[in-house]
Amino acid sequence: MTDDEHALEAIARAATDLVPALTERLARHGLGEIEVASDDIRLRVVRAATPAPAVVAARPGSTGERSPTPPGPSGVAVASQAVGFFVYAEGLGPGLDVEKGDPLGQVEMLGIRHDVRAPRSGTVRNLVAESGEAVEYGQVVVELEAPEVGV
Protein backbone atom coordinates (compact mmCIF):
# COMPACT_ATOMS: atom_id res chain seq x y z
CA MET A 1 0.00 0.00 0.00
CA THR A 2 1.38 3.42 -0.97
CA ASP A 3 1.58 6.37 1.38
CA ASP A 4 -1.29 8.07 -0.47
CA GLU A 5 -3.50 5.00 -0.14
CA HIS A 6 -2.64 4.76 3.57
CA ALA A 7 -3.53 8.44 4.05
CA LEU A 8 -6.83 8.02 2.19
CA GLU A 9 -7.68 5.00 4.34
CA ALA A 10 -6.94 6.98 7.52
CA ILE A 11 -9.17 9.83 6.33
CA ALA A 12 -11.99 7.43 5.45
CA ARG A 13 -11.72 5.78 8.87
CA ALA A 14 -11.82 9.20 10.57
CA ALA A 15 -14.87 10.22 8.54
CA THR A 16 -16.82 7.05 9.35
CA ASP A 17 -15.71 6.44 12.96
CA LEU A 18 -14.20 9.53 14.61
CA VAL A 19 -16.28 12.41 13.25
CA PRO A 20 -19.67 10.97 14.31
CA ALA A 21 -18.32 10.03 17.77
CA LEU A 22 -16.77 13.47 18.31
CA THR A 23 -19.87 15.26 17.05
CA GLU A 24 -21.98 13.30 19.53
CA ARG A 25 -19.61 14.25 22.36
CA LEU A 26 -19.80 17.93 21.39
CA ALA A 27 -23.56 17.85 21.67
CA ARG A 28 -23.67 15.68 24.81
CA HIS A 29 -21.20 17.80 26.78
CA GLY A 30 -22.09 21.20 25.31
CA LEU A 31 -18.54 21.76 24.04
CA GLY A 32 -17.53 24.26 21.38
CA GLU A 33 -14.78 22.11 19.89
CA ILE A 34 -12.84 18.92 20.48
CA GLU A 35 -9.54 17.67 19.07
CA VAL A 36 -8.05 14.17 19.07
CA ALA A 37 -5.03 12.44 17.60
CA SER A 38 -5.37 8.86 16.36
CA ASP A 39 -2.55 6.98 14.66
CA ASP A 40 -1.12 9.42 12.13
CA ILE A 41 -4.12 11.74 11.92
CA ARG A 42 -5.14 14.72 14.04
CA LEU A 43 -8.78 15.73 13.87
CA ARG A 44 -10.57 18.79 15.28
CA VAL A 45 -14.36 19.09 15.20
CA VAL A 46 -15.91 22.51 15.85
CA ARG A 47 -19.59 23.15 16.53
CA ALA A 48 -21.22 25.38 13.93
CA ALA A 49 -22.39 28.78 15.10
CA THR A 50 -26.09 28.22 15.81
CA PRO A 51 -28.63 29.48 18.31
CA ALA A 52 -28.00 28.31 21.86
CA PRO A 53 -28.55 24.56 22.24
CA ALA A 54 -31.21 23.21 24.56
CA VAL A 55 -30.06 22.60 28.10
CA VAL A 56 -29.51 18.92 28.86
CA ALA A 57 -30.09 17.33 32.23
CA ALA A 58 -28.50 14.44 34.11
CA ARG A 59 -29.10 13.54 37.70
CA PRO A 60 -26.54 11.84 39.95
CA GLY A 61 -27.16 8.12 40.04
CA SER A 62 -28.84 8.10 36.65
CA THR A 63 -27.78 5.86 33.80
CA GLY A 64 -25.87 8.79 32.32
CA GLU A 65 -28.46 9.36 29.61
CA ARG A 66 -29.43 12.96 29.14
CA SER A 67 -32.66 14.35 27.86
CA PRO A 68 -33.19 17.83 26.44
CA THR A 69 -35.20 20.19 28.59
CA PRO A 70 -36.55 23.37 27.10
CA PRO A 71 -35.44 26.44 29.02
CA GLY A 72 -38.43 27.94 30.80
CA PRO A 73 -39.23 31.63 31.10
CA SER A 74 -38.30 31.59 34.80
CA GLY A 75 -35.20 29.41 34.36
CA VAL A 76 -31.75 30.71 35.22
CA ALA A 77 -28.75 29.02 33.61
CA VAL A 78 -25.65 28.98 35.81
CA ALA A 79 -22.44 28.70 33.80
CA SER A 80 -18.85 27.75 34.57
CA GLN A 81 -16.50 30.69 34.99
CA ALA A 82 -13.45 28.64 34.00
CA VAL A 83 -12.23 25.70 31.96
CA GLY A 84 -11.59 22.67 34.15
CA PHE A 85 -13.33 19.84 35.99
CA PHE A 86 -16.67 20.59 37.65
CA VAL A 87 -17.77 19.07 40.98
CA TYR A 88 -21.14 19.78 42.61
CA ALA A 89 -21.43 21.11 46.16
CA GLU A 90 -22.25 18.36 48.64
CA GLY A 91 -25.97 17.68 48.90
CA LEU A 92 -26.94 19.71 45.82
CA GLY A 93 -29.81 18.20 43.83
CA PRO A 94 -33.03 18.99 41.99
CA GLY A 95 -35.68 20.56 44.17
CA LEU A 96 -33.19 22.11 46.62
CA ASP A 97 -33.85 25.77 47.44
CA VAL A 98 -30.77 28.00 47.23
CA GLU A 99 -30.14 31.61 48.13
CA LYS A 100 -28.15 34.13 46.12
CA GLY A 101 -24.44 33.44 46.68
CA ASP A 102 -24.86 29.82 47.87
CA PRO A 103 -22.16 27.48 46.53
CA LEU A 104 -23.42 25.19 43.75
CA GLY A 105 -20.06 23.60 43.03
CA GLN A 106 -16.56 24.37 41.89
CA VAL A 107 -14.41 24.16 38.79
CA GLU A 108 -10.86 22.97 39.37
CA MET A 109 -8.32 24.30 36.90
CA LEU A 110 -4.60 23.65 37.36
CA GLY A 111 -5.13 22.93 41.06
CA ILE A 112 -7.03 26.17 41.63
CA ARG A 113 -10.69 25.95 42.60
CA HIS A 114 -13.17 28.45 41.20
CA ASP A 115 -16.46 28.55 43.10
CA VAL A 116 -19.71 28.46 41.15
CA ARG A 117 -22.35 30.31 43.17
CA ALA A 118 -26.07 30.91 42.73
CA PRO A 119 -26.54 34.24 40.95
CA ARG A 120 -29.98 34.59 42.58
CA SER A 121 -32.33 32.76 44.90
CA GLY A 122 -34.31 29.90 43.44
CA THR A 123 -34.81 26.15 43.29
CA VAL A 124 -32.41 23.78 41.56
CA ARG A 125 -34.21 22.57 38.42
CA ASN A 126 -31.52 20.50 36.69
CA LEU A 127 -27.98 19.37 37.31
CA VAL A 128 -26.72 19.78 33.75
CA ALA A 129 -23.10 18.65 33.98
CA GLU A 130 -21.96 15.44 35.59
CA SER A 131 -19.81 15.70 38.70
CA GLY A 132 -16.17 15.35 37.63
CA GLU A 133 -16.94 16.30 34.01
CA ALA A 134 -14.59 18.54 32.02
CA VAL A 135 -16.33 21.86 31.33
CA GLU A 136 -15.59 24.92 29.24
CA TYR A 137 -15.89 28.58 30.14
CA GLY A 138 -19.55 29.58 29.82
CA GLN A 139 -20.86 26.00 29.75
CA VAL A 140 -24.14 25.64 31.68
CA VAL A 141 -23.64 23.39 34.72
CA VAL A 142 -26.82 24.02 36.76
CA GLU A 143 -30.27 25.34 35.92
CA LEU A 144 -32.28 27.13 38.58
CA GLU A 145 -36.00 27.84 38.68
CA ALA A 146 -36.32 31.47 39.74
CA PRO A 147 -39.17 32.37 42.10
CA GLU A 148 -42.16 34.17 40.61
CA VAL A 149 -41.80 37.94 40.93
CA GLY A 150 -44.96 39.85 41.83
CA VAL A 151 -48.36 38.32 41.27
Share of the chain above pLDDT 90, in %: 23
H or E element: which one contains 58?
none
Q: What pTM was estimated for this model as a whole?
A: 0.51
For the purposes of burial, counting CB atoms within 10 Å of the CB of 127, is it exposed (0-12), middle (13-18) or buried (19 or more)? Answer: buried
Find the angle CA(111)-CA(113)-CA(118) to the nearest 5 degrees.
165
Query: 109: pLDDT confidence band, cut at 50, 70 and 90?
Result: confident
pLDDT for 148: 66
Domain range list for the chain: 3-46, 55-145
Query: 137: pLDDT confidence band, cut at 50, 70 and 90?
Result: confident
Right CATH number for 55-145 from 3.40.50.300, 3.20.20.70, 2.60.120.620, 2.40.50.100? 2.40.50.100
How far apart, in whole angstroms, are the C-alpha atoms of residue 6 and residue 81?
43
Nearest by Cα to 40 from 84, 71, 3? 3
Query: 47: pLDDT confidence band, cut at 50, 70 and 90?
Result: low
Find the angle CA(127)-CA(103)-CA(55) to the nearest 5 degrees.
25
